[in-house]
Structures are given as structure tokens and as C-alpha cells.
A and B are shown apart, each in its own frame.
Chain A
């Protein structure tokens, strides 16, 4: 099938392009954070770090809300509200990432920078995570935008998984006199647990691969800093930002970052799909 061939081609061509550069740089391609392509320094550690930090912030914010929404929609929302509300959440996924980026950089960045991150770092600046000087374009802002974008995916898949919970399980719990929450905790969650983990991982994959919105709000800096309020870069956003101006080895190194990102998200996606599939299989 074409689909398989295409995936193979994708890996082959990008790897061939970037391999010489990565080999020349050696292990420091992923262990060094010195990124100065004009001088031949091609350490990408700070981008890997930025990807992990922003994705972690996004997951921390999105997961409890997304699962809450999914449970609300499938367990307690009145029947008449379910479809329109689910449609609204889907709409959140239909908004293109460039629009989130536009809104993020022109509205969210100034607001958070001046009214939230600034005051927080003034009061809690001693704590390394919140060290100043705080700017709107930072890991934290990127994390929030990513949380908004990952939420609808996690919710959609979680709902799918919850829909496979046999109603006999729910009825059994209800028959024992369980409250609504106890039904969820005793019948729904244990059954759907691995599927929900898969949903969260798919959201994580989305957050790590997201490019344009992050490129607009993260600021752009290839230093690693502990503070969430400092600017940084993620793997995807550095590719988008530097590609148009890059030449020669710089381009190949960016392609190398793309391959690295692809491998990371591939691992996460495959794991996630396996978990979701396993839950779905129980049906048969």
C-alpha cells in the first residue's frame, strides 16, 4: 500500500539528508546546548529541553480538564446538551494552529507577561521555576497554548474509550447504591484506564509536534533556563523559525532535528495507539 511506502520514504529521505551532519557532530548533537550554526556548533539539547518542558506544562494543565470534560459529556451531561457541547469541543480542534498563534502572540503574550508572569515572579522569584525577568514570550505561555490545543484530542479519545465501557458495569455499581462519582471510580475508570493513558499520550504527541503556535509565542532562545518565564525554543518551532534563513549544514541540522522529533513522537504515538487498541479489543 502507498501509505506504507510513503512512511518509509519519509524516514529514508530525511535521514539521508541529515545523517552526515549528525555524524559529524557526533553525540553532542543531542548532549550539547551550544547552537551557533554559523560557527558549526550544532547542539540541540536546549530544543529537546524546551519541547519536554512545554509539553509537561501543557499536560499538567490539559489532562485534568480534558478528562473532566470527557466524563462530564459521557456520564453526567443532560442528553440534550451532549451533542452541541461535544461539537464545541471539536471546534476547538478545528481552529487552525496559526490562529491560536496569532491570538497567543497579540493577546495572550502581553496579557500574561504584564499581569500574571510578572507579578508571580516578583513575589516568588526566589524559586528557580519562577525566576525573573519574566517575559510574555516564554515556556509557560507556550505551555498554555499547547494545553488548549491538546485538550480536544484527549477529550475526544477519552470519550471514545469511555463509550466502550459495558453499561452492565455501570448498572452493577448503581445497583449497589453507588453515587454517580462512585460509579465513575469503580466501574468506568478502571475499565478505561489504559485507553485514557493512550489518549493522554496522543495529546502529548500533538503538543510535542505543534509548530506554528509555539514558534509565535515561545520567544526564541537557544539557552536552557530553569525559569518557566524565560524564552526558549522547542524542536518543532526552531525548525519553522530558522529554516527560511538557513543554508547548508544549518538546514541539514534542522532536518536532523525534524527526524529526532519524528522518532520521539512516533514512539509516543505507537505506544498510545497500542493502549487505545487494547481497550477497544476488549469489546470483541
Chain B
């Protein structure tokens, strides 16, 4: 085979072979695109068509019946559990995550910051099941029981690196001249961060945080070992006992052989996807609306 650059330099016309290869490659790329969309369309259309039939007001407000083969009832125990857990996880992860990102962008220099950045990158790839196993051996075994807040800790650990990475890239977009203007006025470093950098980046930060929340809301594996699941609806302020979560209920329904349980799982999947999509789309809209920084 001749060297392709050489044949280009010799400047030939576009031979048939070259044209064919170009066509084949284009076909591959376009075909890949179409192929990649097939599973998305399939999954979403199944979830919507199967789920819509079983989502009802009762489904959103009642707890699961005690038998898998009983019809009726709903996933309120899971929906409420997920809301509680996400709230607590956000309270844990957001301050730490945003603070780490601010530190990395505004103050982080040298090998230590490099290491932190690298570890955050790597942490996004830690399998969620391992995070669950860790929280089990760290929190659940030490406290002696499954609990809502141990689930929140696991979800917070999963959100943390996503928040740090997202916020870091948003803060990097804040133009340096804003910082310099503030510093030139004699404002101390920490006050220019609080008063100038953070407000400027606020919409972007909110977006990054909401995307992380959306990601964590769908996690199932870590919850198996931490909140364990519960058949009853727990109180808003009860964080110390086993609790349910929407993904957990979907998982149990999918494993069940009974049609009513599977139907509830489809409905649950629809609710979960709807929650995640609303969060994701709202997150994007915030930056589109006020997103001068983003541009």
C-alpha cells in the first residue's frame, strides 16, 4: 500500500478507490449514529407505553401492597424515600463539592491540586456498587442497622466528584478580568470569590449541581446495602431506620415473576425517568436563560 500522504502530495485525482473508501466510512459513521439511537427509542417507548397505563393518582400516593401478586397500590414509599435521601445527600455533597471546586480554581496550585483533580476524575469512575459496599462496612456495620441517612451518605459520595468537576468547569469560565477588577479595588481574595466569582457563576453552578442530583437519583446498587428497602411509608423526619427508594422498588419489581409487580415497576420507571428528565431539562434551562457566563 502506498503512503496516503505521498499519494495526496502527488496530487492525483480522487480515484475510485478513494471515493469508495470515503463512502464506506461515511456510511459507517451515519449508520453508527442511527444504531445508537435505536436502544434509546426502544427503551423510552417501552417505558412510556407500559408505564402510562399504570401511573395513577393512587400510584403516586399509596404504598406498595404486601403481596407481589396483588394489584393496586403504588410507590409512594419509594418516591418519598428518594426525595428524603436526595435532600440529605444534597445537604452533604453540595457544600463540600462547591467548596472543593472553588479551592481548585481559585487557590489550588501545584502538585497537590493536581493530585486532587486527578483523584476526583478517577472517583467518577468508581463502581457505585463499591460505594455501597463501603458505606455498608463503614456506616451500617458500625451503627448496627440499615438507615435512610447511610443511603444518603452513599449517594452523596457518588454526587461529590460530579459536582466538583461540573462546578470547576463553570468557575473556569468566569473571566479573569472580573477577579482582577475586584482585587484592584483592594477587596481581599476571599471576598472577591464570595462577592464576584460565585454570583457570576451561580446559574452554571446550579446546573452542575442539578445534573449531579439527577444522576444520583437513579442509583440503585448502593442503596441495596444501605437503606435496604421498606414496605411502609416512613415519616419525613425519620432517618434512622430502613427506607425505600424508587429505584429499589423498580429493581424488586423487575425481579418478580408476578405481572402486577412488573406493571408497578414499569410505572415506577416512568416516574423515575420523568423526575430525572425534568431535573436535567430544568438544569439546562437555567443556564440558557441567564447563561451569559456560559457563552
Chain A residues with CB under 8 Å of chain B are: 1-4, 6-7, 9-10, 13-14, 16-17, 64-69, 71-73, 75-77, 85, 88-89, 91-92, 94-103, 105-107, 148, 151, 155, 173, 176-182, 184-186, 202, 205-206, 208-212, 216, 236, 239-240, 243-244, 254-255, 258-259, 261-262, 265-266, 268-270, 272-273, 277
Contact = CB atoms under 8 A, between A and B. Distances in A.
B256 to A, nearest CB: 10
Contacts of A182: 4, 8, 18, 22
A186 B5 CA distance: 8
Contact of A176 (B9, B36, B43, B123): B9
Contacts of B116: 1, 3-4
Given A92-B36, A96-B247, A106 B262 contact: yes
Interface string B168-205: 00000000000000000000000000000000000000
Contacts of A105: 254-255
Contacts of B100: 1-3
B1 interface: no
Given A3-B123, A92-B39, A211-B129, A68 B254 contact: no
B21 interface: yes
Contacts, number: 235
- Give the top 4 A-B pairs by smallest Cβ distance, nearest first: A96-B218, A209-B127, A68-B32, A181-B25
A212 B18 contact: no
A210 B22 CA distance: 37
Interface of B: 4-5, 8-9, 11, 14, 18-19, 21-22, 24-26, 28-33, 35-37, 39-40, 42-44, 46-47, 96, 100, 103, 115-116, 118-123, 125-131, 133-134, 136-138, 141, 157, 160-161, 164, 214-215, 217-221, 224-225, 228, 247, 250-251, 253-255, 262, 265-266, 269, 272-273, 276-277, 280
Contacts of A72: 29-30, 32-33
A4 B43 contact: no
Nearest to B133: A258
B35 A65 contact: yes
Given A99-B47, A102-B269, A181 B36 contact: no
